[in-house]
């Protein structure tokens, strides 16, 4: 039963006439609409439940990855907050390069309005600048973009070497 025409045919078979026929059709269509609404509600609830389970599974996996990264540390490193922070930031790509990539590749997400997207872009840029240890000035931003463009347009081996050297310098491996 999905259309008024089908309801009319059923009413004819039941030999309903006039108001009785009209009321039957209205009643059946109301029932049909309620059933459809209930079905849509169940589907929406099932979708929400599936999304919740997916988020929970992702969170569990992330916790396991963090624990795994933490367990690889020596006892001394595991008690050094800065070292733990550094390892976890690298593991989750919360690094200068990670935020640079996020800044350049992000796009507006479903359900995200333009102002929310702009805030997210600004956050990526600010974190990128902070991790690049660049002051938040026009000149520092300009230098950051020029440096990035230089590295992106350089041969891959030179770019990799310079990026790794910069990271080694920052971590104190190079004086």
Q: In a 10 Å sphere around its CB, with 0-12 CB exposed, 13-18 middle and 19+ buried, how is residue 169 labelled?
A: exposed
For residue 22, CA distances in Å to 6, 12, 149 come to 13, 11, 73
pLDDT confidence tier of residue 163, bands split at 50, 70 and 90: confident
What does the pLDDT read at residue 46?
93
Give the per-residue pLDDT at 174. Answer: 54
Supply the pLDDT for residue 8. Answer: 78
Residue 120's pLDDT is: 92
Per-residue pLDDT reduced to its tens digit, 45-75: 999 999 999 999 988 988 888 888 888 888 8
The fold for domain 93-175 equals: DNA breaking-rejoining enzymes fold (1.10.4020)
Res. 170 pLDDT band, cuts 50 70 90: low
pLDDT of 168 reads 64
pTM of the model: 0.52
Query: Is the pLDDT at 139 greater than 50, yes or no?
Result: yes
Q: Give the tens place of pLDDT for each residue, 1-12.
A: 457 788 778 878
The predicted model gives 30-36 an average pLDDT of: 89
pLDDT in tens, 81-128: 988 888 888 888 788 889 989 998 998 898 889 899 999 999 999 998
pLDDT value at residue 169: 64
Mean pLDDT of 8-33: 83
Query: CA 169, CA 175: separation in Å to the nearest integer?
Result: 6
Which of 103, 160, 161, 173 has the alpha carbon at shortest distance from 131?
103
**Is the sign of the CA dihedral 23, 25, 28, 29 positive or negative?**
negative
Q: Is residue 171 scored above 70 in pLDDT? A: no
pLDDT at 41: 95
Please report where in the chains the tokens 């990539």 appear, as a residue.
Answer: 101
């Amino acid at each position: 039963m999905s259309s008024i025409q089908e309801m009319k045919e059923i009413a004819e078979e039941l030999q309903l006439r006039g108001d009785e026929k009209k009321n039957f059709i209205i009643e059946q269509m109301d029932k049909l609409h309620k059933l459809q609404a209930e079905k849509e509600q169940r589907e929406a609830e099932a979708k929400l439940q599936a999304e919740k389970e997916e988020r929970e599974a992702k969170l569990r996996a992330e916790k396991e990855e963090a624990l795994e990264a933490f367990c690889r540390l020596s006892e001394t490193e595991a008690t050094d907050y800065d070292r733990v922070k550094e390892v976890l930031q690298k593991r989750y790509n919360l690094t200068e390069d990670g935020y640079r990539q996020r800044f350049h590749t992000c796009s507006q997400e479903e359900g995200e309005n333009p102002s929310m997207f702009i805030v997210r872009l600004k956050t990526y840029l600010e974190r990128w600048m902070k991790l690049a240890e660049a002051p938040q000035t026009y000149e520092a931003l300009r230098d950051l973009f020029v440096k990035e463009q230089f590295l992106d347009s350089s041969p891959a081996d030179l770019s990799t070497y310079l990026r790794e050297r910069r990271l080694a310098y920052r971590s104190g491996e190079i004086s």
